[in-house]
Chains A and B, each alone.
Chain A
C-alpha cells in the first residue's frame, strides 16, 4: 500500500519536474521532419544550372534556441537517393567515377562547433565525409521558429574534386563545374 503511494508520488514528481524543465529551459528540437526537410544542390553543366536533391537522409540533431552554441548535428545522407537530370545522368552519378554508391552508400556530416553570429544566424563548422574522403566545411544557417517547429536554412559550397567526385575525363571542370552549392533545409520537431 505504502509503496504504491510512493510510486504514485514519484511519478507525479517526475511529471512535475519534466513540466518544469520544459518551461524553464526552452524546448529542445531534436526530431527531423524528413517529409519537410530537403537537401538540394545545383551543379553547372557548361554553364547550365542542373538542380537536384537527395531525397533520403536522416540523423541526430539537438538544438535549443536558448543555447544555440550547444547545438549538435549528425546527418546521414543516402547517396542512392540522388536525383538530378535525366536517367543516364542518374546512373552515371551513382557509378564509379562519381559517387560510387556501391562502395560508399552514404555521406555523413558531423558538426564540430556552432557559433552564434546573431540575428538568428549560426555558423556551423563540421566534417563532411563523402566517398571515403573527409573535409571540413562551414555552413551558414539561419533558424526560425514556425509554429511548433524550428526551421533551418543553411548552405555551403562543396568542391566536388575535394571528394573525388568526377574521376577521369570528368575532372574537366569546364564541362561540369567544381563548385556545387549545397542547400540544407531542415525542419525540426520538439522532442
Chain B
C-alpha cells in the first residue's frame, strides 16, 4: 500500500501549531477584558510572541505542503464531505496566515510595536491610527473566533471518522500511529 500518512514534518507542524494556536487564543480570551496592568501587558506580549511563531510556522508549513503533497485519501466518503473537508483545510490555512498579519497591523495602528520574545522589534506596518486600530481589533477577533469554530468542526469531523465511521482517517495525522496501512 502507498503511504497514507502525512510526512512526519507535516505531522509535527500540525500538532505544534494546534497547541500554539489554542494557547495563543486562550491567552487573549483571559487577558482581553482586563484593565491595563502588568498582567495584561505580559499576557499580550506572550500572545504576540506565540502569534508571530504561528505565522512563521504556517509559512514553513505552506512551503512544506507545496513540496510534499498530502497523502492520497484512501477513505471513501461522500463527495460533498470531501469538498467540505478541502474547503475547511483551505480556510484553516488562510486564517492561520491572515489572523497574525491582521494582529500585527492592528498592534501598529494602536501604537504598540510588536517584538519577538524581547529579542527584536518587528517593523510597524502602519502609522498610529485610532479608528483603524479599533476596526482591526474587531476583524482580528472575528477571524480568530471563526478559526476556533472551524477548528471545532475539524476536530468533530476527525472524531466522527475515528469513532463512528471507524475508517482510520485519524492515523494520517497521528503522531504515533503507523499501524493503519489498511489491508482491509
Binding site for B on A (CB under 8 A): 45-51, 84-89, 92, 169-170, 172, 174-176
Task: Give the chain B neighbours of A88 by CB distance below 8 A.
Answer: 35-36
Interface size on B, residues (CB 8 A): 20
Task: Give the chain A neighbours of B115 by CB distance below 8 A.
Answer: 46-49
Task: Give the chain B neighbours of A170 by CB distance below 8 A.
Answer: 37-38
Task: Give the chain B neighbours of A46 by CB distance below 8 A.
Answer: 41-42, 45, 115, 118
CB of B112 within 8 Å of the partner chain: yes
Does B118 contact A48, Cβ atoms closer than 8 Å? yes
Chain B: CB-nearest residue to A86: B110
Does B42 contact A86, Cβ atoms closer than 8 Å? no
Does A85 contact B112, Cβ atoms closer than 8 Å? yes
CB of B100 within 8 Å of the partner chain: no
In terms of DSSP, what is the predominant structure of the interface of chain B? loop
Does A175 contact B110, Cβ atoms closer than 8 Å? no
Task: Give the chain B neighbours of A169 by CB distance below 8 A.
Answer: 37-39
Chain A: CB-nearest residue to B122: A48
A173 to B77, CA, bound (A): 57
Number of A-B contacts (CB under 8 A): 54
A45 to B114, CA, bound (A): 10
Task: Give the chain B neighbours of A174 by CB distance below 8 A.
Answer: 38, 42
A170 to B111, CA, bound (A): 20
Does B114 contact A48, Cβ atoms closer than 8 Å? yes
A43 to chain B, nearest CB (A): 11
Task: Give the chain B neighbours of A176 by CB distance below 8 A.
Answer: 38, 41
Among A45, A47, A51, A175, which residue has its beta carbon within 8 angstroms of that of B119? A47
Does B110 contact A49, Cβ atoms closer than 8 Å? no
Task: Give the chain B neighbours of A49 by CB distance below 8 A.
Answer: 113, 115, 121
Chain A: CB-nearest residue to B117: A47
Chain B: CB-nearest residue to A173: B38
Does A86 contact B41, Cβ atoms closer than 8 Å? no
A6 to B92, CA, bound (A): 93
CB of B51 within 8 Å of the partner chain: no
Produce 1/0 per residue, B119-149, CB < 8 A to A: 1010000000010010000000000000000
Q: Which residues of chain B from 15 to 65 have a CB within 8 Å of any chain A CB?
A: 35-39, 41-42, 45
A49 to B116, CA, bound (A): 11
Give the 8 A-B residue pairs with the shortest CB-CB distance, closest first. A47-B118, A175-B38, A46-B45, A48-B115, A86-B110, A85-B111, A92-B36, A175-B41
Among A45, A51, A84, A87, which residue has its beta carbon within 8 angstroms of that of B41? A45
A93 to chain B, nearest CB (A): 9
A176 to B39, CA, bound (A): 11
B70 to chain A, nearest CB (A): 38
Task: Give the chain A neighbours of B113 by CB distance below 8 A.
Answer: 48-51
A117 to B114, CA, bound (A): 39
A181 to B38, CA, bound (A): 20
A88 to B32, CA, bound (A): 13
- A86, A92, A169, A172 interface centre (most CB from chain B within 10 Å): A86
A91 to B48, CA, bound (A): 23
A172 to B41, CA, bound (A): 11
Task: Give the chain B neighbours of A86 by CB distance below 8 A.
Answer: 110-112, 133
- B36, B42, B112, B117 interface centre (most CB from chain A within 10 Å): B36
Task: Give the chain A neighbours of B111 by CB distance below 8 A.
Answer: 84-86, 89
Among A45, A87, A172, which residue has its beta carbon within 8 angstroms of that of B45? A45
Chain B: CB-nearest residue to A46: B45
Chain A: CB-nearest residue to B120: A47
